[in-house]
Every structure is written in structure tokens, then in C-alpha cells.
Structure 1
Amino acid sequence: MLKSAFTEGRGLFIAVCLAGAGLTGCGPEAEALPEEGSGAVQQALTEGAPLATHDASCLKLQDQNTWSAYTSYMTPVGPALGLDDVLLDLNRAGPVLGSLNHPPAAGYKGGFRWNDGDMSTTEWIPQGMTAGVSGSTNVAVVAWHYAAAAPDKGVRISVADISDMSLSAVNYRHVLLVRPTSSGNFTTIPEHGGGLAWFGNYLYMADTADGIRVFDLTQIRQVDTSTTCETAIGKVGSVWCAYGYKYVLPQVSAYVVPTATVSPCRPKFSFLGKDTRGTTPVVLSGEYCNNTGTSCPYDGSTPGLGGRLYRWPLDSATNKLKTVSGLVAPEKAYIMNEPNVQGVAPIMTSTAATSYWLSSTRYGGALFKVSTSASRTAYLSGSAQWAKMPEGMHATGSGTNLWTATEGVSGVTDPASGGRVVFFATQASVD
């Protein structure tokens, strides 16, 4: 049992916001729109400024409601397994980092690197991260996206036993994410895997263009690992294949942005986070954008800074998002005023849901402490204050540790100088 891209200028924004598809809620709540006919413009943004509250009343997510159908599709594949079963069958070892080979980071406490093959592979790239407890085991979960040529193997996750970081290595295993397609068949998830959040039995994953996918950690299936299966997915003859992986984790449903919702209301889902502060837990989602090749729908006159952060309320009894007539409304939204954001975690020592850590590849790697009331505090890799190329994050509910996974600097395998790692620091050291 588990416990636990808009740069053409202001005129286009106005046309879409005021005339397109009946949209409302196109800017910060603090900035009232001028009177009709006066030429409304998007608010200028400043890097490092406080979070700006954003009106997201135009946005809803729709539950695809495939919970029962997708679960039944997987029945012929074999008996459902839980995460505990996989944790008894971990087949890889990641050496624990020592005093001489860990990345520089304020408040660094510990971490591990992947095995040699996973440190150097160019086929798979680490992205999102979350953590939780399965039975009595503390578990880190890291998503990797497939970066090689076709066929696209989609996204895999690594489940790692981090219960005892005093050991010489952390044991882990890769599991392939799949989507059921019909009774007894499934395919890969061709997504980036940019963000994860774990609530109860459900693992939430960012779907960049469309919303959030959900996977059930009690519905894992063991599949065939023969030579035939190394190049195949789904049912092949009398067996089921997953490109050589022993276990698959199936999608059960998804929360998607309706097709009628268009830019700038329609966001990107680049990363996710988990926030359990307050009475209602939330899934956090955010947009990656920069000032060069990747813009965001709200960037307007200040490309790179318009990435938005959304809070999606969760029903703590079911661990599903709260819906009204099948639709989920964001509880709150903010303009982050930061570029290159790759992950988010709540500042657990603050009960107010207005303060966060953001991991960013700005300046080669940074951790930003942000809130609605103050300009950011930055911990930079160039000043030996944070790791290079940080991605997903997880803050423990006790307010003790802040976990981060890194993508790794291309071609670097030394964990002290940019190689791929998973590490944790004291929350108090960066609060």
C-alpha cells in the first residue's frame, strides 16, 4: 500500500485576448484593463520580480475519464503489481556521492549518481522528479525522455530506494510508461516527461501540449524480456513487450485542455510539483520559456519571463483532481518572472501558498526562492551554490530536505562538474 511561445508583440495579444474564442482572464489580476477602446497592453515583466498573481479564469482541464476502461484494457497482460513488488526487484546500483564528487550546492546533505551506463547514455535524458513512501520504503522517482531516433520509446521512470543514504549505493530500476490502446494492448508515451507529482497510488506526469497524464502505481505489469521484445512494444504473438523493460506502468486517465481553449489562455505543461501545504493539496504545473528559441503564450513584450505557475486542487480522499462536471479549475495562478524554469517545490516552512523554489537552467543552473511579496533570492551554479542543469524537485513534507534531479551537462559524467545526479539539501539552508 502506498503512503504517503508568443513574441510577435502586444497587438496580437490584445486581438486574441479581447476578440478570440470568448477568452477572459488574460493578465495579472493586479493590473486592471484600461477602459474599452483605450488599447489594452500586456504588463511588462521584470526578471527576478515577485510572483504576479494571474487571472486564469479562462482555463479549465477536462478529465478524459478513462479510469475504468484503461484499467480493464490491461487485465489480459497479467496480474496487477504494486510498486512494492518492483522495489523487491531493483536491478541497478547508483553509487552514493562522497565528499569529493558531489555537486556544489548550498546545504548539500547527500545524493547518488546513476550507474555508468545511465550516466553516459545519450538515448535517455533525466527530467521530472518526485518522491514518496511505499510501504516502509522511501522512494525517489525520476522521469527520462527518449532522445534517440525512431522508434520513440517515450518515457521511462526510475524508481530508487533512498531509505538509507548511508549505504554505498542506491538500488533502482527503470519502468516504461505506457498507454493502453485496446484490450490486451498498449503503446509508448511520446512525451518529454518534464514533470512528476506523486499522490497516493497516482503518479501525475506533465503532458507538454495538452495537460496532465495520470498513472496508477497499483497497476504495474510484468512483461517479456526476450530478444524479440527488445525492439517491440505491446502484444507480440503470445507475449507482451516493452522494448526489453521488465515492467510497464500504465496510464489510467488524463486531464486535458479542451481544444477550444487557445493561446494565450492555453498554457504549456512543462513541469509539475507537489504541494501539501494548507487544507487542500495541489498539483503544481508550470511553463518553461526562455528569451531565445522557446517562448510562452504570455511572453508578449518580455520574452522568457511570462511562464505561468498553476495550482490544481486535489481531492485528498481519492487523490484525483477536484472536478465539477468533469472540469478542473486552477485554484490560483502566477506569472513567475523567471526564465528557463524546469521544476518547482513549495517552501514547506511557509504555510501560505505564495512561496516556492524554482529550479532553472538560467546561468547554467540556479535555484530561485520566489514569493508574491519579495524579489527572488538566487543560488547559482556559477557561484558554487547549486548544481548545473537542475530539473525536477521535491520538498519533503516535514520541511527537512529539498531533493533535485539534474539533466547533466552534455558529455560530462563527473557528478561534481555537471554529471547526472539526484541529491538533497537542507530546506533551511535555502529558505
Structure 2
Amino acid sequence: MAWSLFIATCLGGCGPAPDVEASSETALESQARPLTEGAPLTAHDASCLRLVDQNTWTNSVANMADVGPALGLPALLGDLNRAGPVLTASTYPPATGYKGGFRWNDGDMATTDWIPQALTAGVSGDTNVALVSWHYAPSNPDKGVRLSVADISNMSGSTVNYRHVLLVRPTSAGQFTTVNEHGGGLAWFGNYLYMADTSDGLRVFDLTQIRQVDTSATCETQVGKVGSVWCAYGYKYVLPQVSAYTVPSTIASPCRPKFSFLGKDTRGGTSAVLSGEYCNSSDAQCPYDGSTPGLGGRLYRWPLNATTNRLVVVNGAVVPERAWIMNEPNVQGVAPVMTSTATTSYWLSSTRYGGALFKVSTSASRKAYLSGSSQWARMPEGMHATGSGTNLWTVTEGVSGVTNPATGGRVVFFVDQAAVD
């Protein structure tokens, strides 16, 4: 069966250079044809798309100098102030291959102001660390995005220690403001944390530049420099943005994508940041949906320089290494299938069916693990696959009003990759 895609005429310079896997589909690229949910990944011509480095790496660091010394991630890991209970046999959610996890403390389980979104993980010294983004739901003021830094080195204990850090953007010497984004995707490479900027591309934060700010009552409702101190809405630490990769304004829809979620891929000899689009059949339809709304979300692979941990820039631009139509709706996260060296198979986290994990590839229809069949947790978001091919981590947004982690409350957990392969 041929899985076809809806291809509209790209604006902003879309070229006729499709991925090699798309050669059999090129004759159909001008036709609006239905997509099929659960079909294999469909190669997509992304030659019209590029990102430009805003190149604020040096200036952003210089602008934060007056705030105080750069402490880095190790110092923060020595000052974790919250404890999340490790999940037990009676508190963990149903998930195929479940191995372990934790929930947040009571306040973070119940708050309606902050909502978990993305997850990535890595190692700092000898500490295994999970990073989770939360977006701020109220709009006045918009506190932007906070980051939970959690020590997951010992998942056999009773609690996981963590701390929230506010993401900020330097605006001038000694001044910064909030990062007013959804925080829907994270990918951690070296000292850099990449975050999805829904409309424009990728923002980059430097984990070596974490700084301490004031926590007095004055700072509870303010951000940036206030008198002689620096504030972050009461948070003790800030993580500053250092640069961004943005889509030029001349690139318009349908070529211009959304950056809804991110993933980290280290297979195939070249590391890459993965980005993808959230689409559904109602309020978030996508340009390549054709006659089947919700299925035209695109997945991109952006090449990374393994030495600098920055995206590869050629002739002034970053171009995607590969691109596909996912043929899945409501996708919230992506992780590579690490047992395969080919860069053509992935896990997708989706809120379709109330919660699902899909294993997808270019060569086979999906495998599905559904919350309704007690195979996966409800409302899953970002994911991270360990490079060893052992564990697949995910975070859940939580079902509104539910605080029980076993029935839809917010959790961070991991499963055996082999169990969902």
C-alpha cells in the first residue's frame, strides 16, 4: 500500500529536492490526498526550510555578568529543595515495561498555575539528571517557563530531590525578563539545553550560566533588576537564554512549521535535535493534512556539531537533515528507538485516545500502546531514550483535577525500551 501525503506549493522558496525516500512519491506532490492514521512515516521534502542562528552567544553571557557569578549545574544539584515520592506498586500508572518513576510534591501535583510539558535527561558529573519544563497557565503576569532539575541517580530510594529554576532572556546589561513560551520541547546536549519556540524555532540555554538571584518578599511578584537586586518571581536560580535558531519571516505556511516538541537523537553517527508539530482535527490542523485533518504533522531531524553542541550551519543557515509526515495526531513528544542505528524509527508520545505511545518507522505501520487498554499512562508529554538502549523516560501533564499518580496525576517514569520495541 502506498502512503501518500498532501503537498501544497511551498512558499518562501520551496525547492524540488525531496528526500531520497520520497522518489516514488514525487509525481503525487501536487495532489491533496488522504493520509492514513497509523501508516509508516512518509518522507517529506523540506528543502524550503531553514533556520538562522541569532548569534547572541557572547552578548547574552556578557549581559548576565552583573547578576552574579555563573554557578553551573553542579552547584544547583547541591541545593535541591523539593522531594518527590518514588512511585510504588500502588501508585504507579499502567505502562508496558514499567520500571520506575516518581511524582512531584503535593503542591506541584495540585497547582493549576504550572503545567508539565517536556522532558530531557543527561549526566552532570556522576549525577543522572532529568530536566522537565512547565508552562505558566495564567496570562497576567506571564511567568513564562520554569525548569525542574531532578536528581534521578537513585530510583530505588523513597524520594527524588528536585528544584525549580526560572528560564530568563537577557535584554540588556544586567537586565533580563521571562521566556514567554509554551515550553513544549527540550533536548539536552553538552552544556546546551534546546527548547521549542512554537512559532519561530529553537531557543538555547547554557547550563553553565545558572545564576542565583534574590528571594526576598520584594521579588515574589517581579522579574529582572529591582533596585539593587535581581528577581525571578521568588525562584532562587535563573537559567539564561544564550541564543536562538529562528525561521526567517520570509518563509511562510505551508513551508513554515510549528515547533511543538523536541527530542534528542544520537544515532547514525551524527547527533541531531528532533522537532515536530502537534496537530489535531479541530483547533490545530496542519498545512499538510489534506483531506484528513490532524495527521499531517511533520517530524524534522536537525544535525548537530558533536564538538560544539550547536546546530550545523552551512552557508549561513541550518537545514533539516531529514523530514517526515508522521501520520499521527496529537503528538506531544519524540524519542529515537536506540536499538536501531538507522535514523528512521521513533517513539511518539501522543494524547490521542487519552494517552498513547506509538512506535513508528518508515517501513512499517505503527505499534500502539494505549492508556485505555492499560498499556500507557494518560496525558503523556515529552520523552527521552537513554543512549544505552535501556530506558525510555516520559513525563505526563496530568489529567485536570487528578492528583493520584496511578489514575492520571502528574508523574515522571521510565520503562524498558525492549518492552515497547
CA distance in 2, matches of 1:205, 1:346: 18
In structure 2, which of residues 15, 30, 36 is the aligned counterpart of residue 24 of structure 1? Answer: 15
- Cα distance in 1 for residues equivalent to 2:389 and 2:238: 33
Shift, 1:282, TM fit: 0.3
- For the residue of structure 1 that corresponds to 2:414, the secondary structure is strand
Report the equivalent of 2:49. Answer: 59
Partner residue of 2:398?
408
Give me the whole-angstrom Cα distance separating, in 2, the residues matched to 1:334 and 1:102. 34
Give aligned-pair identity as a percent: 75
Asked whether the 8 Å contact 2:14–2:255 carries over to 1, the reply is: yes
State how far apart, in whole Å, the 1-side matches of 2:12 and 2:208 are: 40
Which one of 217, 221, 233 corresponds to residue 231 of structure 1? 221
Query: Distance between the aligned counterparts of 1:26 and 1:263, measured in 2?
Result: 18
- What is the distance in 1 between the residues matched to 2:254 and 2:172? 35
Which residue in 1 is equivalent to 2:303? 313
Match of 1:382 in 2: 372
1:173 is paired with a residue whose SS is: strand
Match of 1:7 in 2: none
Distance 1:180 1:25, change over 3 A: farther
Superposed CA deviations along residues 170-197 of structure 1, whole A, max 9, x for unmatched, are: 0000000000000000000000000000
Report 1:297-376 matches (<5 A): 297-376=287-366
Aligned-residue offset at 1:243? 0.3
Q: Distance in 2 between matches of 1:21 and 1:133?
A: 40
- Structure 1 position 202 matched with structure 2 position 192: yes
Instruction: Please tell me whether the aligned partners of residues 26 and 265 of structure 1 are also in contact (alpha carbons under 8 angstroms).
Output: no
Indicate the residue corresponding to 2:275 in structure 1: 285
- Counterpart contact for 1:266–1:297, Cα < 8 Å: no
Matched, 1:98 2:98: no
| TM-score (norm: length of structure 2) | 0.96
Q: What is the match of residue 33 of structure 1?
A: 27
| Offset at residue 306 of structure 1 (A) | 0.2
Matched residue type, 2:27: L
Could you tell me which amino acid in structure 2 is paired with residue 202 of structure 1?
Y
CA distance in 1, matches of 2:403, 2:18: 43
Q: Which residue of 2 aligns with 1:122?
A: 112
- Give the superposition deviation at 1:218: 0.2
1:25 and 1:265 in contact (8 A); partners too? no
Residue 222 of structure 1 deviates from its aligned partner by 0.3
Q: Which residue is equivalent to 1:75?
A: 65
Partner of 1:150: 140
- Matched with 2:235 is 245
Counterpart-to-counterpart distance in 2, 1:291 and 1:26: 29
Post-superposition shift, 1:295?
A: 1.0
* Equivalent in the alignment of 1:177: 167
Q: Which SS does the other structure have where 2:30 is aligned? A: coil
Given candidates 241, 249, 253, the residue that maps to 1:259 is: 249
Q: Is the 1:120–1:413 Cα contact (8 Å) retained in structure 2?
A: yes
Give yes or no for contact 1:71–1:219 (8 Å, CA) kept in 2.
Answer: yes
Q: Is the 8 A contact 2:12 2:255 kept in 1?
A: no
SS at match of 2:180: coil
Aligned AA (2:313): T
Which whole-Å CA distance do the structure 1 matches of 2:373 and 2:381 have between them? Answer: 18
Give the deviation of 1:160 after TM superposition.
0.2
Q: CA deviation at 1:27?
A: 8.0
1:297 deviates by: 2.3
- The residue identity in structure 1 corresponding to 2:161 is N
Q: Secondary structure at the match of 1:119?
A: helix
Offset from partner CA, 1:11-58 (integer Å, 9 cap, x none): xx74x53xx444335988342236xxxx93134210000000111000
Q: Is the 8 A contact 1:178 1:188 kept in 2?
A: yes
Distance apart, 1:298 and its partner CA: 1.7
Runs of 4+ in 1 over 6 A off after TM superposition: none
Contact kept in structure 1, 2:34 and 2:292, CA below 8 Å: yes
| Cα distance per residue 1:364-423 (max 9 Å; x no partner) | 000000000000000000000000000000000000000000000000000000000000
**Is 1:421 aligned to 2:411, yes or no?**
yes
Match of residue 5 from structure 1:
none
Within 1, Cα distance between the matches of 2:32 and 2:255? 13
Shift of 1:62: 0.3
